[in-house]
């Protein structure tokens, strides 16, 4: 039996609603679900079948995207608690974090100017370390302490890293030209 | 399971009926059609046993278009009306085509899509593609003995919405039911993966005649999941020919070239490129319409040098795709090579170096896409069997967004998102009392509107008068399993809504399609004279090309100056009367050329025999 169309993302894949997630189990559930609902299974059937399949398949993809990404997964769990961590009015970040991200931005701009691939990789590694630490904090805040205020703070920091990562990607592409 | 059970009646009405479905690789240079017969994917051949259909269409006044080899053979003699590489113009406006000047066509700068002026009127790239597809449909129906249920048409993974929509329009125009637009590298991955029971991370490197794609896939228990794709929809084998053509122009200071000469030299560039796949050097000889003779020698080393930038232009997208997938070259289990242009040794070695492994060449790079498309078509048509338990999950190649203040693009669906996908974003009014909002949908990776491709522009009207920032307008983008976009917008407080399919701004209007369908029908009533003229021209074209290659190969060593010029003069006379309507004259000139080349042909045969004997005597000595 398929879960309800409006089921929450975790229930859709039969997973517990926690931040700490069994990625392999998510992948398996996602594929099993798509195998049932994907438009390729309905291409020879009626328009109505096709439309339903399109909606379902879209829904499954959306849920998978959210659960796969630590940032989106955490924001989704907070949203279930009635907290919009990424609302435009919630932009305050700790000074230490802001200093760090200014340093990264300068390093990326400098590396781009000097065509310094190694410097970019260094920034990338630092950002990954920071992201992993934030994820560990999130697991603790969401799954253990249920401290949603501090979790929301971590989500915002993670979001910031995401934005800088886009700049990093652009710099890598620019150096490859 | 519930949904599958609901659909069961559709399957059970005719449980044993095999629906005729085909996969079509609509290529820049060549096209193919394949089907699944008794559980095995096979390419369908023409009546002469040939698998490829050159993607070449020739238009003449009041006659049905000539498609394939017959058109290809006369392309150098009738370059204006013989359309090659039309895929490059699909969904493009004139200013998109950077190298428009290097084509012999009479382009018409039309809104939405460029058109071509031919002897049979102005043609849209969609119509030209439809003529190729129609030829393939006829081949398939003849070969399978019945009407097709539907077709899967392949497109480059990096095709944008306009190019995809144009391809779907062309299929519709050709009377095909499109089961799915399938990305070419994904099709190749199906064919490779199912044949080899492959598991793990694979890269598909697909360099065709005019397009380049790289896709990174995870193959796991029958699921083909595209993790990232990248490419260049205006880079292919044709560009290598073009580079070589420019080199030829630099080497020999030619008199002014005619359109025919350009096409002839481009053909020679292609032959030379192909020759260098097997040999370390090749000789290029040709006689221009002015009688000017070209005789050049080209080594593989020179060729590699002049095309090195093109090769490296394919490697950047490979690195970007890997990066987007969060993988490194070390994670890649195998690299599947697709497209005729991957036969070039310079490509093979560049890919091998980048990935640190020998690429997989065990499938025919020309056929693998059509075979994969056939497998997919078979399943989509409802012929799925117990063991066909596989699934494809593809992605959208380019980010989709909406124009915001200041000419910037706000991305709503990022590239490499698994399709089908729907995303919505809320916007608001920026002026007090604003009652309409213009919505501009764009595709591309850049921040500025001017650097992205405009897909659709429409207005949401009837927004109630409110203070700036009070209205809430929700814009939703949906990309379906074909990778095609539809857009809708709604003002959330009043429910005022507007929806657009992206088709009208870039594809054809429905009226255009019905007019073209009518034209196609009229073409079927061709008369006998037209057919005779047609055949005479084809025959003439064939002879001209055969004679040219004979001259290229052996002219210098087997003919003296007078004999050579007599043949060239006769070729020119024939070439001049081919575009005319006098079929008797064409036949007469054809006969004449046949006569003046008789001695030459005899000498060539003698030489062959001698060479064969020489070879045999060597063998005899060795045995």
Average pLDDT over residues A139-157: 93
Q: A118: burial class by Cβ within 10 Å (0-12, 13-18, 19+)?
A: exposed
Print burial letters for B59-70: b (CB count within 10 Å at least 16), e (below 16): bbeebbbbbbbb
Query: How many pairs of residues across A and B have Cβ atoms under 8 Å apart?
Result: 89
For residue A49, the model assigns a pLDDT of: 75
CATH architecture, domain B528-622:
Up-down Bundle (1.20)
- Residue B17's pLDDT band, with cuts at 50, 70 and 90, is low
Average pLDDT over residues A126-147: 94
Position of tokens 């006379």?
A: B573
Q: Which of B580, B439, B561 is nearest to B496 (CA)?
A: B439
| A173–B320 C-beta distance less than 8 A | yes
Residues 47-66 of A with CB under 8 A from B: 49, 52-54, 56-58, 61-62, 64-65
* Domain boundaries for CATH 1.20.1270.10 within chain B: 528-622
Residue A32 and residue A26: Cα distance in Å, rounded?
10
* Domain boundaries for CATH 2.60.34.10 within chain B: 398-503
Which residue of chain A comes nearest to B4, CA vs CA? A36
In CATH, B398-503 is 3.40.50.1820: no
Q: Are B424 and B385 in contact (CB under 8 A)?
A: no
- Residue B621's pLDDT band, with cuts at 50, 70 and 90, is very low
Q: In angstroms, what separates the C-alpha of A145 from chain B's closest C-alpha?
A: 31
- Show residues of chain A in contact with B322, CB under 8 Å: none
- Residue B53's pLDDT band, with cuts at 50, 70 and 90, is very high
Least confident of B242-246, B492-496, B602-606, B615-619: B615-619
Residue B106 and residue B89: Cα distance in Å, rounded?
13
Percent of chain A past pLDDT 70, that is, above it, reads 95
Interface test with B, best of A2, A27, A44 (most B CBs within 10 A): A44
Q: Tell me: pLDDT of B12 over 50.
A: no
Average pLDDT over residues B339-354: 95
How much is the mean pLDDT over chain A? Answer: 88
Q: In angstroms, what separates the C-alpha of A143 from chain B's closest C-alpha?
A: 27
For residue B214, the model assigns a pLDDT of: 96
Residue B120 and residue A161: Cα distance in Å, rounded?
59
Q: Does A165 touch chain B (CB under 8 A)?
A: no
| B420–A39 C-beta distance less than 8 A | yes
CATH architecture, domain A9-68:
Orthogonal Bundle (1.10)
Residue B327 and residue B164: Cα distance in Å, rounded?
28
For residue B261, the model assigns a pLDDT of: 86
Which residues of B does the annotation mark as catalytic?
A: 25, 87, 184, 206
By Cβ distance, the residue of B376, B381, B389 closest to A44 is B381
For residue B401, the model assigns a pLDDT of: 93
Within 10 angstroms of residue B312's Cβ, the number of other Cβ atoms is 11
Residue B496 DSSP class: -
Q: Tell me: pLDDT of B522 over 60.
A: no
* pLDDT, tens digit (0-9, with 9 covering 90-100), for B88-111: 999 998 888 877 777 888 898 888
User: What are the structure tokens assigned to B429, written together?
Assistant: 């009014």
Within 10 angstroms of residue A119's Cβ, the number of other Cβ atoms is 16
By Cβ distance, the residue of B4, B379, B420 closest to A58 is B420
The fold of the A95-176 domain, in CATH, is Monooxygenase (1.20.1280)
| B420–A57 C-beta distance less than 8 A | yes
Helix (H, G, I), strand (E, B) or coil at B460: strand
Percent of chain B past pLDDT 70, that is, above it, reads 88
Beta-strand pair B395-396/B417-418 = antiparallel
How much is the mean pLDDT over chain B? Answer: 85
| B420–A61 C-beta distance less than 8 A | yes
* pLDDT, tens digit (0-9, with 9 covering 90-100), for B351-368: 999 999 999 998 899 999
Within 10 angstroms of residue A35's Cβ, the number of other Cβ atoms is 18
Q: Are B167 and B178 in contact (CB under 8 A)?
A: no
For residue A107, the model assigns a pLDDT of: 92
What is the distance, to the nearest Å, from the Cα of residue B415 to the centroid of all Cα atoms in its chain? 22
CATH of the structural domain B20-236+309-393, one choice from 3.30.420.40, 3.90.1150.10, 3.30.930.10, 3.40.50.300: 3.30.420.40
Residue B445 and residue A163: Cα distance in Å, rounded?
15
Percent of chain B past pLDDT 90, that is, above it, reads 51
Q: B419: burial class by Cβ within 10 Å (0-12, 13-18, 19+)?
A: buried
Average pLDDT over residues B277-297: 89
| B480–A39 C-beta distance less than 8 A | yes
Question: pTM of this prediction?
Answer: 0.80
Q: Which of B74, B136, B69, B132 is nearest to B533 (CA)?
A: B74
Q: In chain A, how many H helices and how many E strands? A: 7, 0
Map B227-260 to HEC letters. Answer: EEEEEECCCCHHHHHHHHHHHHHHHCCCCCCCHH
- Show residues of chain A in contact with B381, CB under 8 Å: 43-44
* Domain boundaries for CATH 3.30.420.40 within chain B: 20-236+309-393
For residue A55, the model assigns a pLDDT of: 87
* pLDDT, tens digit (0-9, with 9 covering 90-100), for B378-430: 999 888 777 777 899 999 999 999 998 888 899 999 999 999 999 998 888 88
Least confident of B73-82, B345-354, B524-533: B524-533
Q: Are B263 and B253 in contact (CB under 8 A)?
A: no
| B223–A35 C-beta distance less than 8 A | yes
Q: Report the Cα–Cα distance between both ends of chain A, in Å, rounded.
A: 51
Q: Does A17 touch chain B (CB under 8 A)?
A: no
Print burial letters for B497-527: b (CB count within 10 Å at least 16), e (below 16): ebebebbebbbbeeeebeebeeebeeeeeee
B26-to-B230, B380, B422, B481, B587 alpha-carbon distances in Å = 20, 19, 28, 19, 34
User: What are the structure tokens assigned to B209, written together?
Assistant: 């005649």
Taking the CA atoms of chain B, what radius of gyration do you get in angstroms? Answer: 27
Residues 6+ apart with CB under 8 A from A141: A147, A148, A150, A151, A154
């Amino acid at each position: 039996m398929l879960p309800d169309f409006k089921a929450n993302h975790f229930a859709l894949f039969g997973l517990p609603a926690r931040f700490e997630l069994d990625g392999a189990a998510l992948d398996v559930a996602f594929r099993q679900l798509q195998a049932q609902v994907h438009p390729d299974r309905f291409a020879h059937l009626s328009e109505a079948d096709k439309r339903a399949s399109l909606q379902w398949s879209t829904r499954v993809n959306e849920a998978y995207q959210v659960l796969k990404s630590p940032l989106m997964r955490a924001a989704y769990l907070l949203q279930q608690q009635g907290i919009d961590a990424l609302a435009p009015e919630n932009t305050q970040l700790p000074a230490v974090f802001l200093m760090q991200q200014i340093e990264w931005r300068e390093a990326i701009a400098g590396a781009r100017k000097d065509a310094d691939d190694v410097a970019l990789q260094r920034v990338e590694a630092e950002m990954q370390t920071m992201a992993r630490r934030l994820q560990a904090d999130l697991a603790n805040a969401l799954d253990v302490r249920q401290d949603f205020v501090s979790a929301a703070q971590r989500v915002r920091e993670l979001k910031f890293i995401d934005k800088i990562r886009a700049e990093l990607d652009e710099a890598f592409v620019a150096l490859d030209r | 399971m519930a949904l599958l059970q609901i659909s069961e009646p559709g399957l059970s009405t005719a449980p044993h009926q095999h629906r005729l479905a085909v996969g079509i690789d609509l290529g820049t240079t060549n096209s193919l059609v394949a089907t699944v017969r008794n559980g095995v994917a096979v390419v369908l051949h023409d009546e002469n046993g040939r698998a490829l259909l050159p993607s070449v269409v020739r238009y003449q006044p009041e006659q049905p278009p000539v498609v394939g080899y017959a058109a290809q053979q006369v392309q150098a003699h009738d370059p204006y009306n013989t359309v090659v590489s039309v895929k490059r113009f699909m969904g493009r406006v004139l200013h998109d085509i950077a190298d428009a000047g290097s084509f012999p066509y009479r382009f018409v700068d039309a809104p939405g899509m460029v058109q071509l002026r031919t002897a049979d009127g102005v043609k849209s790239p969609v119509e030209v593609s439809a003529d190729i597809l129609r030829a393939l449909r006829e081949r398939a129906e003849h070969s399978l003995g019945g009407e097709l249920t539907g077709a899967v048409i392949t497109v480059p993974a990096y095709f944008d919405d306009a190019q995809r929509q144009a391809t779907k329009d062309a299929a519709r125009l050709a009377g095909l039911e499109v089961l799915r637009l399938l990305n070419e590298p994904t099709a190749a991955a199906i064919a490779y993966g199912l044949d080899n029971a492959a598991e793990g991370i694979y890269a598909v490197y697909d360099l065709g005649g005019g397009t380049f794609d790289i896709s990174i896939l995870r193959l796991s228990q029958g699921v083909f999941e595209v993790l990232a794709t990248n490419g260049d929809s205006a880079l292919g084998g044709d560009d290598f020919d073009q580079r070589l053509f420019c080199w030829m122009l630099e080497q020999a200071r030619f008199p002014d070239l005619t359109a025919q000469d350009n096409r002839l030299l481009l053909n020679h560039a292609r032959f030379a490129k192909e020759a260098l796949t097997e040999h370390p050097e090749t000789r290029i000889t040709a006689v221009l319409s002015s009688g000017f003779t070209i005789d050049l020698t080209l080594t593989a080393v020179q060729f590699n040098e002049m095309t090195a930038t093109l090769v490296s232009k394919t490697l950047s997208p490979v690195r970007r795709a890997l990066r987007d997938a969060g993988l490194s070259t070390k994670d890649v289990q195998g690299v599947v090579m697709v497209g005729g242009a991957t036969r070039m040794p310079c490509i093979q070695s560049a890919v091998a170096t980048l990935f640190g492994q020998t690429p997989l060449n065990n499938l025919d790079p020309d056929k693998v896409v059509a075979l994969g498309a056939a497998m997919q078509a078979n399943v989509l048509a409802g012929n799925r069997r117990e063991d066909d338990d596989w699934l494809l999950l593809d992605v959208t190649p380019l980010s989709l967004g909406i124009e915001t203040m200041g000419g910037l693009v706000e991305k709503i669906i990022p590239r490499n998102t698994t399709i089908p996908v729907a995303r919505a974003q809320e916007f608001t009014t920026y002026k007090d009392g604003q009652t309409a909002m213009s919505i501009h949908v764009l595709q591309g990776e850049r921040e500025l509107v001017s650097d992205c491709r405009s897909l659709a522009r429409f207005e949401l009207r009837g927004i109630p008068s409110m203070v700036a920032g009070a209205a809430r307008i929700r814009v939703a983008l949906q990309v379906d399993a074909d990778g095609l976009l539809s857009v809708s917008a709604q003002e959330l407080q009043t429910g005022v809504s507007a929806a657009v399919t992206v088709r009208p701004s870039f594809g054809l209007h429905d009226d255009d399609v019905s007019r073209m369908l009518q034209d196609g029908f009229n073409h079927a009533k061709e008369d006998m004279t037209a057919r005779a003229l047609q055949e005479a021209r084809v025959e003439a074209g064939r002879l001209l090309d055969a004679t040219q290659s004979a001259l290229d190969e052996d002219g210098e060593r087997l003919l003296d100056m007078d004999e050579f010029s007599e043949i060239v003069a006769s070729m020119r006379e024939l070439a001049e009367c081919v575009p005319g309507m006098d079929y008797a004259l064409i036949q007469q000139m054809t006969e004449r050329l046949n006569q003046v080349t008789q001695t030459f042909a005899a000498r060539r045969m003698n030489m062959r025999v001698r060479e064969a004997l020489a070879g045999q005597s060597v063998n005899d000595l060795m045995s």
